[in-house]
């Protein structure tokens, strides 16, 4: 009890959950760095969401209908994500994302610090609503949020399973996944993740509106932070841009990836015939088709490639310098 009273100022348990997140992630960092393996990296991240939502729910001890719904939704999605990612890394033995810096203490520490910001920042909205003392009845925003959550979660699970099955087939080695939901979005799993967190925010809207803590609206940072991570930092940038090199340099997959990048929306699912014919300005402004996702392939026999070879750089996959 004394420990809880020490955090009496922290009415929504933001500071407490931040400390818990730091403890969990840095402990897992020490294990992962010491053993030089990746098996607990994603598992610890997804599981930390569950911890962050359960602690304030129990401490608030109100268990309102909205609080229980939000808690169940977050726990279900994160347990699924933890289980799926853990199973996948067990199959792959390691995570190639960390090959270049797993043994570098500072870089690896920086990654785990970033994971703290992911786990805690993305759950701020959920933490607020499950610890809020006001309990307005469920309304339109809650029901819209429930429907959106279901759609987002289904999209995430189905796309993950579809891609896993596609990759498990040796015949698909070296070619992009363009089947199922992946025929309508280049990253339907990320789309589902974004929708999930906007759905949670919608479900919290009435509680925030009725709360005496008007700053509760600031927790909109949770879905926004999720979008920033996936669109600009650890999501799509890790999958596109320079990471498309393996497809472009393969004569078999090059026509496939060129058509895929041209015809398929990066995030929001839509028919290819619609996306293909939209002006680029519309794609960039409204549909997240950012230049950073492009890969500028330079054929080995091109003038640019020959010039690069003559200069000893050999970096034919780089964009030319812009004035």
Write the CB contacts of 317 (distance below 8 Å, at least 6 apart in sequence). Answer: 242, 245, 248, 249, 295, 296, 297, 298
Contact between residue 131 and residue 64 where contact means Cβ atoms under 8 Å apart: no
The predicted model scores a pTM of 0.88
How far apart, in whole angstroms, are the C-alpha atoms of residue 106 and residue 242?
24
Q: Is 143 inside any structural domain?
A: no
Asked whether residue 281 is assigned to any structural domain, the reply reads no
Which residues lie below 8 Å from residue 240, measured CB to CB, with a gap of 6+? 186, 266, 292, 293, 294, 295
Backbone angles phi, psi at 147, to 5 degrees: -65, -45
The model's pLDDT over 160-202, given as tens digits with 9 standing for 90+, comes to 999 999 999 999 998 999 999 999 999 999 999 999 999 999 9
Residue 56 domain-assigned (yes or no) = yes
Number of domains in the chain: 1
Low-confidence ranges of the chain (pLDDT < 70): 1-9, 301-323
User: Does the residue 95 lie in any domain?
Assistant: yes
302 lies in some domain: no
The DSSP call for residue 253 is: T
CB 295 within 8 A of CB 317: yes
DSSP 268: S
Dist CA 97 CA 100 (whole Å)? 7
310 falls within a domain: no
The pLDDT value given to residue 301: 67
DSSP state of 277: T
DSSP 192-210: HHHHHHHHHHHHHHHHHHH
The range of the structural domain enclosing residue 119 comes to 1-133
pLDDT given for residue 104 in this prediction: 87
**Does the residue 192 lie in any domain?**
no
């Amino acid at each position: 009890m004394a420990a809880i009273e020490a955090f009496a100022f922290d009415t929504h348990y933001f500071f407490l959950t931040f400390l818990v997140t730091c403890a969990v992630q840095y402990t897992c960092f020490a294990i992962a760095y010491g053993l030089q393996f990746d098996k607990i990296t994603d598992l610890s991240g997804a599981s930390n969401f569950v911890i962050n939502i359960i602690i304030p729910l129990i401490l608030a001890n109100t268990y309102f209908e909205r609080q229980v719904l939000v808690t169940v939704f977050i726990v279900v999605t994160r347990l699924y994500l933890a289980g799926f990612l853990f199973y996948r890394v067990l199959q792959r033995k390691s995570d190639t994302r960390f090959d270049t810096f797993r043994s570098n203490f500072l870089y690896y520490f920086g990654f785990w610090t970033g994971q703290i910001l992911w786990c805690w920042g993305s759950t701020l909205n959920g933490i607020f609503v499950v610890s809020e003392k006001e309990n307005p009845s469920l309304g339109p925003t809650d029901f819209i949020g429930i429907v959106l959550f279901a759609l987002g979660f289904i999209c995430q699970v189905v796309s993950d399973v579809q891609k896993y099955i596609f990759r498990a087939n040796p015949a698909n080695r070296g070619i992009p996944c363009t089947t199922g939901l992946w025929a309508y979005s280049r990253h339907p799993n990320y789309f589902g993740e974004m929708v999930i967190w906007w759905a949670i925010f919608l479900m919290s809207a009435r509680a925030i509106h009725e709360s005496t803590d008007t700053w509760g609206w600031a927790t909109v940072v949770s879905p926004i932070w999720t979008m920033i991570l996936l669109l600009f930092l650890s999501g799509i940038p890790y999958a596109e841009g320079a990471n498309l090199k393996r497809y472009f340099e393969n004569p078999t997959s090059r026509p496939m990836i060129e058509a895929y990048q041209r015809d398929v929306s990066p995030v929001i699912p839509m028919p290819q015939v619609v996306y293909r014919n939209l002006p680029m300005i519309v794609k960039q402004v409204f549909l997240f088709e950012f230049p950073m996702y492009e890969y500028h392939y330079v054929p080995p026999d091109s003038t640019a490639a020959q010039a690069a070879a003559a200069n000893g750089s050999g970096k034919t996959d780089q964009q030319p310098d812009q004035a």
